[in-house]
Structure 1
Amino acid sequence: MQLIGSCHCGAVRLELPSAPETATNCNCSLCRRLNGLWAYYEFGTVRITGHPEHTEAYVQGDRTLQTLRCRSCGCITHWEPLPPVAGARHGVNLRNFDPALVAAVRVRHFDGADSWTFLD
């Protein structure tokens, strides 16, 4: 299975170290607007080309992570922990990958808007 994805224009490319077993679909105020489908990896294990030269960051709330998008096409590619420390959790937006990869992953629904629990 192809573990390489990219934003729409291809300026930012992501290579996963392994296929995810699960992904998270969150309904918090940000994720529901982004329509992100998040797979989590240890920070530093996902190879990202085109970052930071082709990305812009958005930092909100408690400032513990930054959400990154391509400067050219606007696709949300991933989020990184703040500060960016090796070993911390890192989220990759699976919507930038082949639909076959997404179809092979169990999607969990997280209630980030209210209860902060998984709904499944």
Structure 2
Amino acid sequence: AVRFEISRPAWVISCNCSICRRYATLWAHCPPNEGRLLAGAGATTAYVWGDRLIEFHFCTTCGVTTHYQGTDGGRVSFNLRLADDPAQVEDIRVRHFDGAGSWAFLD
């Protein structure tokens, strides 16, 4: 199983682009040195698409989307829908991002 550790974010992102919509993710962004993936080598596999700027990672056991990171080593985002206890994250503000059109926040 893939697990991760991050600080509690002030808000998370629900994106409506074609890939995020299909993956049904809820992204928590963090600088690369703040989030930690708690999994051994080979626990995830990556998929790079489109302009090849974002690398999506999936659990090699169950296939769930775990996180994404920029191919340039920038920001990392973890899928908070994987929280061990959903009650711990249900009160975090959700910001809606229009990745399918304007490429801007809708709120």
Aligned equivalents of 1:90, 1:14: Cα separation in 2: 11
Question: What displacement does 1:49 show?
Answer: 1.9
Please state how far the C-alpha of 1:110 moved relative to its aligned partner. 0.7
Q: How does 1:13-28 map to 2 (within 5 A)?
A: 13-16=3-6, 18-28=7-17
1:15 to partner: Cα distance: 0.7
TM, length-normalised to structure 1: 0.83
Provide the TM-score with structure 2 as the length reference: 0.92
Count of residues paired in the alignment: 106
Letter in structure 2 aligned against 1:35:
A
Change over 3 Å in CA distance of 1:30–1:51 after alignment to 2:
farther
Q: Which residue of 2 aligns with 1:109?
A: 96
Mind listing any 5+ residue stretches in structure 2 that lack a counterpart? Answer: none
SS, match of residue 31 in structure 1:
helix
Identity of aligned residues (%): 47
**67, 80, 97: which one pairs with 2:56?**
67
The alignment status of 1:94 with 2:94, answered yes or no, reads no
Q: Over aligned residue pairs, what C-alpha RMSD do you find? A: 1.2
